[in-house]
Amino acid sequence: MEHKSISAVLAENALDDAVTAMCLESRPRLFALARMDYEVEDAEIIAWLLVWDERIVVQRCGFRNVNSYETRADFMAVYGPRLENRTYKLVSMDGRPMSDGIPRRDTIG
């Protein structure tokens, strides 16, 4: 069995720590998109969102394809009217509130 030098082990540990920090810093925030039916007091999760600074990825439940939006404006062009009239609701999975209901990394990430 080959033994590593202390400096090699420390270098590996430092790299592991740096990679972990990089991944945590650049990870997306996770949201659920729920369809709301206030008349019958029911709701269902219809999609999951991963949100980074530069894009929003939507995986709709029951569908194989994934939609990717490069800007918040692109996302809002599709989902904005339903979010504004409360047909849909975005729920942050980390418990942090959203200031305007629109996914952003600063409110999502």
Q: pLDDT, tens digit, for every residue of 11-64?
A: 999 999 999 999 999 999 999 999 999 999 999 999 999 999 889 999 999 999
CB count within 10 Å of CB 51 equals 24
Tell me, what DSSP letter sits at residue 44?
A: E
* Overall domain count for the chain: 1
Asked, for residue 16, whether it belongs to a domain, the answer is no
pLDDT score of 94: 83
Residue 105 has pLDDT above 50, yes or no: no
- For 48, the token pair is 């999951």
Tell me, what DSSP letter sits at residue 39?
A: T
- pLDDT confidence tier of residue 3, bands split at 50, 70 and 90: confident
Asked, for residue 99, whether it belongs to a domain, the answer is yes
* CB-based contact 103:49 (threshold 8 Å): yes
Tell me, what DSSP letter sits at residue 102?
A: S
Q: What are phi and psi of 8, to 5 degrees?
A: -65, -45
Structural domain boundaries enclosing 79: 28-108
What is the average pLDDT value for the chain, to the nearest integer?
86
Residue tagged 């430092």 (tokens): 14
Asked, for residue 21, whether it belongs to a domain, the answer is no
- pLDDT confidence tier of residue 109, bands split at 50, 70 and 90: very low
3-state helix, strand, coil in the chain (%, to 5): 35, 30, 35
Residue 98 has pLDDT above 70, yes or no: no
Asked, for residue 44, whether it belongs to a domain, the answer is yes
pLDDT mean over 87-99: 80
Asked, for residue 52, whether it belongs to a domain, the answer is yes
